[in-house]
Amino acid sequence: MTGAGSGIGRAVAVELLRSGWSVVLAGRRAERLEETAARAREARAEGPDGPGGGTLCVPTDVARPEDVAGLFAAVRAQFGRLDLLFNNAGTFGPGGVPFEDLPYEAWRHVVGTNLDGAFLCAQAAYRQMKEQDPQGGRIINNGSISAHTPRPASAAYTATKHALTGLTKSLSLDGRPYRIACGQIDIGNAATDMTERMATGALQANGEMAPEPVMDVEDVARTVRHMAELPLEANVQFATVLATAMPYVGRG
């Protein structure tokens, strides 16, 4: 579970742990990972789904190959096998910056996290799933509504999310001989720290600022759990989960 220190990653981690999964929590800030682990312990004590699994916190910058190698080595050492990767880490980059003013360094940061990081983690997971016995596993990529339809002034984020869709399709095809399933969840306006601005106003395609509806992040977490718990003979290839009244269908 990458990007497990906050937002969607934290919600999904808690949901999976509460339902009995053992989860490795990866993210850049160790203290945020520990907060997620503590929240998961609380949820397991309260939840109706059983005792839940174990956790392992591994501080990781997914854009650094050496960090990703260390993460998957820790997974192997602690648990012996890997059944699921939720490729969730991501960043929006600078908001509201016109395309012509977007610094190359900002572009590279978004690409490094959203696309390079997803590639590195997926490749490491794929290798382990191919080699382990029994063979196979599942990779779920966190796409976005922006994998389909962009927001204004979001070139870097939108480009990486479109590219992630191509990665999902390629992994789905290449993983077939090894029982590796890959799907993508595209999320619109889940209520997290990253979407707080939606309540006060988001830039629309016509240049106006307007508040947008949001949905409970727990609805995303339950969807990921459903995708994760399917047998490997079945796969949710693409799922779109969004706030019902957000400006997506007919955006612009």
* DSSP 8-state secondary structure symbol assigned to residue 147: G
CA dist 178 and 53 (Å) reads 26
List the one residue out of 80, 83, 62, 81 whose CA is nearest residue 71.
62
Q: Which pLDDT score, from 0 to 100, does residue 201 have?
A: 82
Per-residue pLDDT of the chain (252 residues; tens, 9 = 90+): 999 999 999 999 999 999 999 999 999 999 999 999 999 888 776 655 555 578 999 999 999 999 999 999 999 999 999 999 999 999 999 888 999 999 999 999 999 999 999 999 999 999 999 999 999 999 999 999 999 998 899 999 999 999 999 999 999 999 999 999 999 999 999 998 766 777 778 888 888 888 889 999 999 999 999 999 999 999 999 999 999 998 887 655
d(CA 131, CA 76): 11
The pTM of the full predicted model, rounded to 2 decimals, is: 0.93
Enumerate domains of the chain plus CATH numbers.
7-242 (3.40.50.720)
Q: What secondary structure, in 3-state letters, does 91-128 show?
A: CCCCCCCCHHHCCHHHHHHHHHHHHHHHHHHHHHHHHH
CA distance 190 to 8: 8
Contact between 125 and 72 under an 8 Å Cβ cutoff? The reply is: yes
Active-site residue list: 157
Alpha-carbon span 72 to 232, nearest angstrom? 21
Q: State the DSSP code for 151.
A: P
Pairwise CA distance, residues 173 & 190, whole Å: 29
Q: Say what the pLDDT of residue 219 is.
A: 96
